[in-house]
């Protein structure tokens, strides 16, 4: 990306806008969960894996690398035996904590309503298929 991108103001509704990449990154479930886990400070890979849950090591590694590349987290290798690697949010990554906490709060408080809506929709679809 050229240096003019640093001064760019995005428009995610424009299909050619690179801000869509940012929206996709923070909308990724693993990225959002990793950022939430790192809110309380640096974590090792095994801690992240345990706290995030069912993510595979491969997907966790890929997501961590992508977040590091995007400047949202920092990977620190400590010179010790065995080697120790910590992951922590950068200042830029920390700016995502509040918006992601808002989304997390919304999800936790609206999951039951969404599941009920899903059940109603599925029941209606089943009725249409049976009645066709």
CATH number, domain with residue 57: 1.10.10.10
Cα-trace Rg, the chain: 19
What total of structural domains would you count in the chain? 1
pLDDT-based confidence at residue 5 (cuts at 50, 70, 90):
low
Over residues 61-93, the pLDDT tens digits come to: 999 999 999 999 999 999 988 889 999 999 999
Domain assignment present for residue 115? The answer is no
Domain assignment present for residue 38? The answer is yes
Domain assignment present for residue 59? The answer is yes
Judged by phi (left if over 0) then psi (alpha if -120 to 50, else beta), residue 81 lies in: beta
Structural domain of residue 25, as residue ranges?
Answer: 3-95
Domain assignment present for residue 120? The answer is no
Indicate whether this model's pTM tops 0.85.
Answer: no
Domain assignment present for residue 27? The answer is yes
b/e burial code for range 31-63 (CB count within 10 A of at least 16 → b): bbbbbbbbeeeebebeebbeebeebeeeebeeb
Domain assignment present for residue 105? The answer is no
User: Which of 114, 118, 105, 124 lies closest to 36 in space, CA to CA?
Assistant: 105
pLDDT at 12: 83
pLDDT at 21: 85
């Amino acid at each position: 990306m050229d240096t003019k991108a640093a001064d760019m103001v995005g428009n995610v509704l424009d299909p050619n806008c690179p801000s869509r990449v940012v929206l996709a990154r923070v909308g990724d479930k693993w990225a959002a969960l990793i950022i939430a886990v790192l809110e309380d400070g640096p974590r090792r890979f095994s801690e992240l894996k345990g706290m995030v849950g069912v993510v595979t090591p491969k997907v966790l590694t890929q997501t961590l690398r992508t977040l590091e590349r995007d400047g949202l987290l920092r990977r620190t290798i400590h010179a010790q035996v065995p080697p120790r690697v910590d992951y922590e949010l950068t200042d830029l990554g920390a700016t995502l904590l509040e918006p992601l906490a808002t989304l997390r709060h919304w999800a936790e408080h609206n999951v039951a309503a969404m599941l009920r809506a899903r059940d109603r929709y599925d029941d209606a679809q089943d009725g249409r298929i049976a009645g066709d």
